[in-house]
Structure 1
Amino acid sequence: MELFINSSLLYVSLRPLNSTAAEKTVYDICKDMPAVIIWYLGLQFINMFLGIPANLMVLWLIHKNKGDTSTSDIFILHLAILDILFCLTPPLELANIVFLTTSNTWYVLRFFYGLKDSSPLFLSCICLDRYMAVVHPVTFTSLKDRHHRAVLAITVWLTTLAYAAAKCVGNIVNFEKVFTAMILAAFTFMVFCNITILWVLRQSGPGRDEMHPVKKRAFKMVLIILAIIVFNYFPPVALLPFQEYFSPKVFRCYIHYVAFGLMDFSSSIQPMLYLSKEKLNCCQCCSTQIQ
């Protein structure tokens, strides 16, 4: 039968040892190591109940403050829309992993998995925007009021939809290598941008142990973002290229769900980080007015 899972390997062939294997669900095939699948599904439902309202609140705040938004908010807005779409999938995913043996409904899930796979592209745009603002402020200022960010966002959406459609088909040879290359390139780029930003902010103070309060807050925020990028996106980067070193069943039932469970949970962590930043800015504004 074919076992459909949430990754760049959305379907992999399992050779049944008997005729009844074709009737098994994904959960039945992994029944001797079910802990990670249960953990993964629990994480997905937490993602749904936490991620949807958090991302909706992000959209509301960006709309409410559209007269006073940062240059990165256009990418944050599109990332929130993408995450909301992905956070709608856990009920269907639960049904397909635990109850259903048909492969038809996996076409829908593969499309949404393709959307989530491409989310690092929007994160890379956010990192690039912040990188230009800190490392190349003159160039950033000259481009600040132009429409290149909207063009870039449209380009990312077209790339995302094309990738998701190709993934939905599910029979492209070596298609998993596209995801591996994309996540590795995006991860490397995001880490480079954030480390460079941290270094520039750290060196921009009057002395090595001094830093302007605004830059200090920016330094702490970028450090948190870097930690989240490593936590959410390092597992697939570290594990997927070494698939052949694991037994097929261990990779399909264990390694895969660990890597992508952490990556998928970014749909909740990212909006929560944005909301915490907005709350911090609001508190600082109120404090300044009181003084």
Structure 2
Amino acid sequence: MTLYPMVRDGNWWFSTGLTPDEYQVLPSTVETLQRLFDERVGIPGVHFSNLTWHSLWRANIRMVDRYRNGRIFLVGDAAHVHSPAEGEGMQTGIQDAYNLGWEIASALRGAPDMLLDTYEDERLPIARQLLESTSARSQAFMRPSSITQTVTNVTTSKDAFADTTQLSIHYRGSTLACDLDEATIIRAGDRAPDAPGLHASNGMQVRLFDVFRGTHFTLLVFGCQLTLQLPDVPNDFLRIYTIVRPGERIAASDGALIDTSGHAHHTYGITNEALILVRPDGYIGLTGGSLDSDPIIDYLRGTTGR
């Protein structure tokens, strides 16, 4: 007989059915737990005994109404606490920290203070959406009639609550998201996708995630006519890569990448020349279809003070 966990009168019980007519509520005693273990696990020779303590667990669901107060910033569990139903708390906190970290580093190097306000603008809505989805799933788990459907949705990738991978998170509309035109399919604020099959001038095979790795800005220049005139900057601040199709001529340099399989052009929706500026946290800051250095310089000055 299948047992289903449920909450009744503020305590955990186990029901033997999914509908009220089928309920045979059993308390959370050692005998019930033994029965549940035998039914779900079925390992012979395992016996529970001497239950000395058990308690009712309740999800602590809350979040702050702001992430910044002057020089004080809240990150991770200090800013949002929620049900572990989706298991997304750690990765959300890490993304909070990375989003804030590169901005604080830029502010310490001279970036305008208003840059730090974008941390709350971008991350607080993400936390709000997370609490909504984890709360919805947690409530579904508490309803015996929904358990079977919820588990089915998770195992068949038909989860209606959230993208638990968080790969769909974006910052479109943020003050740090600048689309100069409609030349690219990818938009500023999107997570910069990977592209394998690139070859450097020395023949080594690389992928975009390799060139993004670090704490620097990355400028992808699609096109063989390199006309950008950017000021000299340290390599740990901005790295520039020119991406060309096979057969296009370009002067050999450490920043020349041949898109052998065409994956990069396809993924970023590039049909002509284009610029893609990727932030240190792996999100796109600027897109444009013209190889003009002025927008890049203006964007970097606004976000780094340089």
- Alignment TM-score, normalising by the size of structure 2: 0.29
Is the helix fraction higher in 1 or 2?
A: 1
Work out which of the two has the higher radius of gyration on C-alpha atoms and give 1 or 2: 2
Is the strand fraction higher in 1 or 2?
A: 2
- Alignment TM-score, normalising by the size of structure 1: 0.31
